[in-house]
Amino acid sequence: MVLVTEIYSITGIFPVSEIYGLTNQLRRSAVSIPSNIAEGYVRNSTNDYKRFLQIAVGSLYELQTQVEIACNLKYIEVEKIREVSNLSIEIDKMLYSIIQKIK
């Protein structure tokens, strides 16, 4: 959820021309991460939970790619990129750990 809040903050200063492009994509992929974790958790199936966690990982990697694109376009400050990168790495490790425990 911290990552989602950070992404919303960062994209709030993107050019207006990106509202339906990169801004929307970044926000959707960020929101998808905790949403899939939550949805998978309430399922009555370990396999479903694992599948939703894997989808969350996919959204995380999608987000990382989009952040890199925004960086290349100079939409994000270097310090913010570091913060997002550190959060992403931490979330990736947590998701990997949970998936491994479920297996």
- Of the candidates 52, 26, 21, 55, which has an alpha carbon nearest to the alpha carbon of residue 38? 52
Half-sphere exposure of 30 (CA within 13 A, CB side): 23
The one-letter amino acid at 1: M
- Of the candidates 103, 67, 101, 70, which has an alpha carbon nearest to the alpha carbon of residue 85? 67
> What's the pLDDT at 88?
96
Where exactly are the structural domains of the chain?
A: 2-102
pTM as predicted? 0.93
Q: What is the per-residue pLDDT across 84-101, written as a single tens digit (0 to 9) for each? A: 999 999 999 999 999 999
Its CATH architecture, for the domain 2-102, is Up-down Bundle (1.20)
Q: What is the per-residue pLDDT across 39-74, written as a single tens digit (0 to 9) for each? A: 999 998 999 999 999 999 999 999 999 999 999 999
Place of tokens 């890199």: 68
